[in-house]
Amino acid sequence: MAEINIEAITKTFHDSSRGREVAALDDINLSIAANDFVCLLGPSGCGKSTLLNIIAGFETPTKGRVTVDGKAVEAPGADRGVVFQQPTLMPWLTVAENIAFHLRLKGIAKAERREQAQTFIDLVGLKGFETHYPSELSGGMNQRVGIARALIMNPRVILMDEPFAALDAQTKSEMQEELVAIWQRHRGTIVFVTHSVDEALVLGNRIVVMTRRPGRIRELIELDLPRPRDVTGADFNDMKRHVLNLIKEVAAQPAAA
């Protein structure tokens, strides 16, 4: 059984200030197996975040449905951890407290929270920063807190919306490596939104290339490349050429009015 089933998802937004309908997604069908790492790749405005938000349960589809483990998604749930582009941490809480925040809401005792938080602090490489506040951390470190906060709930699915977009090239590449290492060690199903071809090629088992709005699936690419990905290798670059050509073709199509 697929972990996530996206069944004929269509989403139309009503743009009330302009009195018109915006078709964001059109008939998206996709099965994602347990422990898969899928990247959603497409031009700005093609509906990537909308699709992720529907899986997360923050948005409802106009048509179709998403199931996770056979259960229809109707609202956000602890089975799906979400990491946003900006980590939205609570500035008045320390790193450890931010990471353990949801455990506190669940009523888990302080000692237990601290112990669990420490495991994930170590996992994302933040040892020594437990008592720091978000304002005392770099962008990459804040993003690590966001990832640890999602992982601590032990979700079956992690949904990530361009989590590394704001980082410099070096930090981004370190975070990508770390994410793959965490996924390999920890497992779980990842759906990762990006508009970077390189990022999708470095991270994904599969890449879903989307068309311009309304977003449809243009091509589903299986990435049969060994890990860690060798970005200078011939196979990687053949695949990159293919994906870049697809993106170029997609970008040349006009978006819906």
Ligand X SMILES: Nc1ncnc2c1ncn2[C@@H]1O[C@H](COP(=O)(O)OP(=O)(O)OP(=O)(O)O)[C@@H](O)[C@H]1O
d(CA 174, CA 176): 5
Using the rule CB under 6 A, is 61 a contact of ligand X? no
Residue 195's binding partner among ligand X, Mg ion, none (Cβ under 5 to 8 angstroms by kind) is ligand X
Residue whose pair of structure tokens reads 């759906």 in the numeric block: 191
CA angle 229, 234, 235 (to 5 degrees): 60
156 versus 212: smaller Cβ distance to ligand X: 212
Q: Of 140-199, which residues contact ligand X (CB under 6 A)?
A: 195
Residue 22's binding partner among Mg ion, ligand X, none (Cβ under 5 to 8 angstroms by kind) is ligand X
Cα 208 from chain centroid?
Answer: 13
Crossing angle between the packed helical segments 139-151 and 169-186, to the nearest 10 degrees: 20
Using the rule CB under 6 A, is 58 a contact of ligand X? no
Using the rule CB under 6 A, is 217 a contact of ligand X? no
Q: Which of 28, 32, 41, 46 binds ligand X (CB under 6 A)?
A: 46
Q: Which of 47, 57, 61, 81 binds ligand X (CB under 6 A)?
A: 47
Q: Of 44-103, which residues contact Mg ion (CB under 5 A)?
A: 49
Closest approach of Mg ion to the CB of residue 180, in Å: 22
DSSP state letters, 216-242: -EEEEEE----SS--TTSHHHHHHHHH
Q: Locate 233 and state its tokens.
A: 């290798």
Q: Which of 4, 41, 49, 148 binds ligand X (CB under 6 A)?
A: 49
Using the rule CB under 6 A, is 50 a contact of ligand X? yes
Q: Which residues lie closer than 8 Å to 190 by C-beta, 6 or more apart?
A: 36, 37, 38, 157, 158, 159, 160, 179, 183
Closest approach of Mg ion to the CB of residue 227, in Å: 26
Q: Which residues of the chain form contacts with ligand X (CB under 6 A)?
A: 13, 15, 22, 24, 42, 44-50, 195, 213
